[in-house]
Amino acid sequence: MGVNAFPRPGARRFTGGLYRALAAATVSVVGVVTALTVTQPASAAASTLAEGAAQHNRYFGVAIAANRLNDSVYTNIANREFNSVTAENEMKIDATEPQQGRFDFTQADRIYNWARQNGKQVRGHTLAWHSQQPQWMQNLSGQALRQAMINHIQGVMSYYRGKIPIWDVVNEAFEDGNSGRRRDSNLQRTGNDWIEVAFRTARQADPSAKLCYNDYNIENWNAAKTQAVYNMVRDFKSRGVPIDCVGFQSHFNSGNPYNPNFRTTLQQFAALGVDVEVTELDIENAPAQTYASVIRDCLAVDRCTGITVWGVRDSDSWRSYQNPLLFDNNGNKKQAYYAVLDALNEGSDDGGGPSNPPVSPPPGGGSGQIRGVASNRCIDVPNGNTADGTQVQLYDCHSGSNQQWTYTSSGEFRIFGNKCLDAGGSSNGAVVQIYSCWGGANQKWELRADGTIVGVQSGLCLDAVGGGTGNGTRLQLYSCWGGNNQKWSYNA
């Protein structure tokens, strides 16, 4: 993470387009995080996909291949346009456990490190799948295979515990066609409960991670495969199986064309109590209107938390012959890109995205701790250091003054009387520190009803770096995406 320079208060200047106006406020709060609604001026239309999605509290991601990270055109586009990264192949089973019990994260770490160094979240993909299994796993069956699946999930998730906030736990477990049956895979033949076991294992391995089921050709609400997955998720939710989201790959083509009822599908799954995500989007020949329709479908569903396209340029696509992506072979923006950006900018002047009711801040004067939902640790000024620029951290909660924050009527979090919680920038990865209070928008925070704390200047969420939960984890600004590492309780 880059460290921003921090000019003295009198020298600070902020671009008008970065400000967010506070809305009217009416509701009081007792013992929970409160909410303020913000709006962005219409003149500040987003100029990148990530910025556009962030206006609606969503991420816009891309699949990245490690062997292309030396291509400057490729990485420049990926870095500029996207704020979430999925490893295209490098976190799959054959890549991470090529020999039984011997894990290799070399290529996975290349992608993870590049993403985090550039301020992007990482989606984990994928842990249990019938395809891309190493030969040793293909040779197993029965209980031996079941245990190998469990060991693999534990090994990978333990390695990335607290670092990767979202995982595709199970991938493509249902067969194509009209049967609605499970795929006849070696994993399925270990017993019909294998998917449930995979999710329960994943929750134990990393309790803070969002756990997803991911599949293709489940976008059409009327399809038998869609209904079969829906029934599985409904059953899991009714029995307490830990599933948090469903990923819709959205590989649209002549064999699986986009259907306008995709929005209905997203709504119906979300109504079960899971988030929904568009996880591998590409569309044959990249029709601009269809791309825009998919974006609008996601934006219309509060629990649709983000969109990932499956590659940067057409030449990088697994279906390069279909020219299905937003950038051509030379890295130029296609008409579909502009249609997507326009769709993301629609409605941005009213805040976009999932709405939270406007409420008033709690009355000033009281002080209390800000406790992380994922970590159950408190925002802490290390060693009680009062120097400007001291970065805050997560630490075991205690009664010390270096964890006592006063939320003022003007939206500041004050500590030690005259120091404020301060954003050292307005982009993803900006450090969060204490600084002498001076009234700037980078020292004002919205407390939202969903548990997030949002910077007024940036519109970004207060975030535990890398999804970390341990003592000493630093805090940063990051695009709001709904993870528990961005949720807090404040009791004053």
- The DSSP-derived string for 224-273 is HHHHHHHHHHHHHHHHT----EEEE--EEBTTB---TTHHHHHHHHHTTT
SS3 45: coil
d(CA 466, CA 474) in angstroms, rounded, equals 9
Q: Bridge partners of 447?
A: 453
d(CA 143, CA 151) in angstroms, rounded, equals 12
Mean pLDDT of 418-424: 92
Mean pLDDT of 200-214: 96
Domains of the chain, CATH where assigned: 49-346 (3.20.20.80), 368-491 (2.80.10.50)
Mean pLDDT of 433-448: 87
The per-residue pLDDT for 490 is: 87
Q: What is the largest CA-CA distance in the chain?
A: 69
Q: Hey, how many other C-beta atoms are within 10 angstroms of the C-beta on 448?
A: 24
> HSE-up of 276 (CA within 13 Å, CB side)?
30
Tokens of 244: 């948090």
pLDDT category of residue 420 using cuts at 50, 70 and 90: very high
Contact 275, 164 (CB under 8 A): no
Q: What percent of the chain has pLDDT over 70?
A: 87
pLDDT category of residue 411 using cuts at 50, 70 and 90: confident
SS3 127: strand
The catalytic residues are 280
Is 80 exceeded by the pLDDT of residue 415?
yes
Q: What is the pLDDT of residues 65-107, one digit of tens each?
A: 999 999 999 999 999 999 999 999 999 999 999 999 999 999 9
Q: Hey, how many other C-beta atoms are within 10 angstroms of the C-beta on 285?
A: 11
Q: What is the DSSP string of 6-27?
A: ---GGG----GGG--EEPP---
Mean pLDDT of 332-356: 74
Q: Bridge partners of 404?
A: none
Q: Which amino acid is at 119?
A: G
Of 226-230, 272-276, 433-437, least confident by mean pLDDT is: 433-437
Mean pLDDT of 285-301: 96
Q: What is the pTM of this model?
A: 0.66
Contact 403, 393 (CB under 8 A): no
Is 90 exceeded by the pLDDT of residue 44?
no
Q: What is the pLDDT of residues 25-37, one digit of tens each?
A: 322 323 333 332 3
